[in-house]
Amino acid sequence: MTKLKLILKDGTEVVGESFGYLPKKDETIDGEVVFNTAMVGYPETFTDPSYRGQILVMTYPMIGNYGIPDEASDGGVSQKFESLTSHIRGLVISEYCEEASHWQSKKTLSDFLKAHKIPAISGVDTRALTQKLREHGVMLGKMVPESFEAKKNMKIEDPNANNLVAEVSVNKKTILTPKGKIKATVALIDCGIKHNIIRSFLERGIQVIRLPWNYDLSTVKEKYDGVFISNGPGDPETVVATIDSVKWAMGKDIPIFGICLGCQIMGLAAGAKTYKLKYGHRSANQPCIEEVISEGKRCYITSQNHGFAIDEKTLPKDWKVWFTNANDNTVEGIRHNKKPWFSVQFHPEASPGPEDAAYLFDYFIEKIAGDK
């Protein structure tokens, strides 16, 4: 079987058996090497735009056992995935299951990866590789043919140097209407949105005005009741146009809700600062503590995928931390003391993962449709 290797920035080389796209002789695939600890949900994970530019290491020992479902979409929204394509640059796993067994499976993971030109290797000690990433932090890496000889001080492209949001956002405004009665309308800023967020709004009777990341919110002619800022990849400081739109919405006292990158953007718009986490949070089992509820603290198990966070020390006095990560005490959500502005770093829509925090969509809808 053909073999490929992953070369890390520090010179570490990991060789594995290829079961995805096979790079040409001189072709190299650069990316940021990160790990994910989720046990299920690889189709959703691979199609999550927040993974743009990343080579993904899966810690669960066997991947591919339930195949890949139909890639059908409706009105530009995937029915089962988190976007219309795959966004990871490469995949590293321990064991690949060649025979898929699931009633919804339409193709094998190998066929899916080849169709989307994603190189992948199996037979890797992913536990050792993950330990290395935990000690050092995320590292740049390069997936190459086994015969490729690495040079000293080899250059590896850093995806975070680019505006990744511009690569994954939509390029024009569209309006998505739910079946049945419309409860309210949301202006949704798409920074690389997971499609289950859109589905979560539509299922609750919310009309969605889907906007590109750099669309001037002040020029939207359609009437809307609130603003939503989506998840997405990369450094939040690169999406200046989105930050400016959120500042404008704050100036108009419009209700605002953000998820993941949207949380970081809201923090920047409020005047706080963000920073890069050592190895990020990428899993479906992250415990988060809600800090401001009348009954006291409560823990939720959440799905996450982010590499940046808000610096709590820089948060303005009229804002407070809403959720905190129980593992490392990083900020997982913020809210304004008086205004209807709030956001969370985790994914209440899950996909994959628990739905403990799905109530946050209803909380936002109460703010924008409570009087209707």
Instruction: Using alpha carbons, list the distances in angstroms from residue 207 to 174, 296, 368.
Output: 11, 34, 12
β 13-18/139-145 pair status: unpaired
Whether cis (ω within 30° of 0) applies to the bond prior to 352 is yes
Q: Tell me, yes or no, if 260 is annotated catalytic.
A: yes
Q: Tell me, yes or no, if 347 is annotated catalytic.
A: yes
Q: Which two tokens stand for residue 291?
A: 């800090």
Chain position carrying tokens 């394509």: 85
Q: How far apart are the first and last CA of the chain?
A: 62
HSE (side-chain half, CA atoms, 13 Å) at 37? 16
> For residue 159, what are the contacts with CB-CB under 8 A and spacing of at least 6?
30, 31, 32, 52, 53, 54, 89, 233, 234
Dist. CA 196–CA 348, nearest whole Å: 10
Out of 191, 260, 263, 288, the active site residue is 260
Strand partners, 207: 185
The crossing angle, in degrees rounded to 10, of helices 240-251 and 261-270 is 60
Out of 32, 82, 332, 349, the active site residue is 349
CA torsion sign for 159, 160, 163, 166 is positive
Burial class (CB in 10 A: 0-12, 13-18, 19+), 154: middle
**Among all residues, which ones are annotated catalytic?**
260, 347, 349
